[in-house]
Protein backbone atom coordinates (compact mmCIF):
# COMPACT_ATOMS: atom_id res chain seq x y z
CA UNK A 1 0.00 0.00 0.00
CA UNK A 2 1.31 3.42 -0.94
CA UNK A 3 0.58 6.16 1.59
CA UNK A 4 0.87 9.92 1.17
CA UNK A 5 2.00 12.09 4.08
CA UNK A 6 2.28 15.81 4.63
CA UNK A 7 2.41 18.01 7.69
CA UNK A 8 2.47 21.60 8.84
CA UNK A 9 3.79 23.60 11.78
CA UNK A 10 2.10 25.97 14.18
CA UNK A 11 3.33 28.85 16.31
CA UNK A 12 1.58 31.69 18.15
CA UNK A 13 0.68 33.30 14.83
CA UNK A 14 -1.09 30.26 13.38
CA UNK A 15 -0.52 27.35 11.02
CA UNK A 16 2.00 27.19 8.18
CA UNK A 17 1.30 25.93 4.71
CA UNK A 18 1.54 22.18 4.26
CA UNK A 19 4.84 20.50 3.46
CA UNK A 20 5.41 18.81 0.16
CA UNK A 21 3.83 15.37 -0.05
CA UNK A 22 5.94 12.31 0.77
CA UNK A 23 5.01 8.98 -0.81
CA UNK A 24 5.83 6.08 1.51
CA UNK A 25 5.22 2.44 0.71
CA UNK A 26 4.43 0.26 3.71
CA UNK A 27 6.84 -2.51 2.77
CA UNK A 28 9.96 -4.33 3.92
CA UNK A 29 12.60 -6.34 2.11
CA UNK A 30 11.30 -9.56 0.54
CA UNK A 31 11.71 -12.91 2.26
CA UNK A 32 14.68 -15.08 1.33
CA UNK A 33 13.79 -16.96 -1.86
CA UNK A 34 14.11 -20.75 -1.98
CA UNK A 35 17.21 -22.39 -3.44
CA UNK A 36 17.45 -22.53 -7.25
CA UNK A 37 16.45 -25.83 -8.82
CA UNK A 38 18.43 -27.68 -11.50
CA UNK A 39 16.43 -28.09 -14.70
CA UNK A 40 18.92 -29.63 -17.10
CA UNK A 41 22.65 -30.32 -17.30
CA UNK A 42 24.86 -31.26 -20.21
CA UNK A 43 28.56 -31.01 -21.05
CA UNK A 44 28.30 -27.31 -21.94
CA UNK A 45 25.51 -25.86 -19.80
CA UNK A 46 23.47 -25.88 -16.61
CA UNK A 47 19.85 -24.71 -16.60
CA UNK A 48 18.32 -23.56 -13.30
CA UNK A 49 14.89 -22.39 -12.16
CA UNK A 50 14.73 -19.29 -9.98
CA UNK A 51 11.74 -19.64 -7.66
CA UNK A 52 9.89 -16.63 -6.30
CA UNK A 53 10.22 -15.52 -2.69
CA UNK A 54 7.24 -16.64 -0.60
CA UNK A 55 6.71 -13.09 0.71
CA UNK A 56 7.38 -9.99 -1.36
CA UNK A 57 7.51 -7.76 1.73
CA UNK A 58 4.45 -5.80 0.66
CA UNK A 59 5.86 -4.55 -2.63
CA UNK A 60 6.35 -6.29 -5.97
CA UNK A 61 9.76 -7.94 -6.38
CA UNK A 62 11.53 -6.04 -9.15
CA UNK A 63 14.21 -8.58 -9.94
CA UNK A 64 16.60 -11.25 -8.74
CA UNK A 65 20.37 -11.73 -8.85
CA UNK A 66 21.94 -15.13 -9.48
CA UNK A 67 25.36 -16.04 -8.07
CA UNK A 68 27.64 -19.02 -8.69
CA UNK A 69 30.43 -20.72 -6.80
CA UNK A 70 32.65 -22.84 -9.03
CA UNK A 71 32.84 -25.58 -6.40
CA UNK A 72 36.62 -25.39 -6.12
CA UNK A 73 36.68 -25.28 -2.33
CA UNK A 74 36.34 -21.51 -2.05
CA UNK A 75 33.42 -19.87 -0.30
CA UNK A 76 33.18 -16.89 -2.65
CA UNK A 77 30.30 -16.48 -5.08
CA UNK A 78 30.36 -14.48 -8.31
CA UNK A 79 27.37 -12.75 -9.83
CA UNK A 80 26.12 -14.43 -13.02
CA UNK A 81 26.28 -11.49 -15.41
CA UNK A 82 24.33 -13.28 -18.16
CA UNK A 83 21.23 -13.47 -15.92
CA UNK A 84 19.16 -10.29 -16.28
CA UNK A 85 17.08 -10.83 -13.13
CA UNK A 86 13.62 -10.97 -14.64
CA UNK A 87 13.27 -14.58 -15.76
CA UNK A 88 12.14 -17.65 -13.81
CA UNK A 89 14.81 -19.78 -15.50
CA UNK A 90 18.32 -19.32 -16.80
CA UNK A 91 20.87 -21.41 -18.66
CA UNK A 92 24.53 -20.88 -17.80
CA UNK A 93 27.05 -21.97 -20.40
CA UNK A 94 30.73 -22.70 -20.80
CA UNK A 95 31.03 -19.87 -23.35
CA UNK A 96 29.05 -17.15 -21.53
CA UNK A 97 29.56 -17.93 -17.86
CA UNK A 98 32.96 -19.62 -17.61
CA UNK A 99 31.69 -23.05 -16.61
CA UNK A 100 34.24 -25.84 -16.78
CA UNK A 101 33.23 -28.13 -19.66
CA UNK A 102 32.12 -31.64 -18.82
* The pLDDT value given to residue 49: 96
How would you write the pLDDT of the chain (102 residues) with one tens digit per residue?
Answer: 789 999 999 999 999 999 999 999 888 899 999 999 999 999 899 999 999 888 888 888 999 999 998 777 778 898 999 999 989 999 999 888 888 776
Q: What is the pLDDT of residue 21?
A: 97
Quote the number of domains for the chain.
Answer: 1
- Total residue length of the chain: 102
Which residue, among 5, 42, 45, 50, has the nearest Cα to 23 in the 3D structure?
Answer: 5
Which residues, in sequence order, are CB contacts of 88 under 8 Å at separation 6+?
A: 49, 50, 51, 52
Q: Is 78 a member of any domain?
A: yes
Neighbours of 64 (CB within 10 A): 19
Query: Residue 18 has what pLDDT?
Result: 97
The confidence score (pLDDT) of residue 7 equals: 96
Q: Is residue 37 classed as helix, strand or coil in its secondary structure?
A: strand
Asked if residue 65 belongs to a domain, the reply is: yes
Query: 11 in a domain, yes or no?
Result: no
pLDDT at 66: 95
Domain of residue 33, residue span? 29-97
Q: Is residue 35 part of a domain?
A: yes
Per the domain annotation, does 21 fall within a domain? no
pLDDT of residue 102: 61
Amino acid sequence: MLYRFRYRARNVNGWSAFSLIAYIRAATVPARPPAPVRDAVDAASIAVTIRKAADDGGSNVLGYELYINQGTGTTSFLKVMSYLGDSASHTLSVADDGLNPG
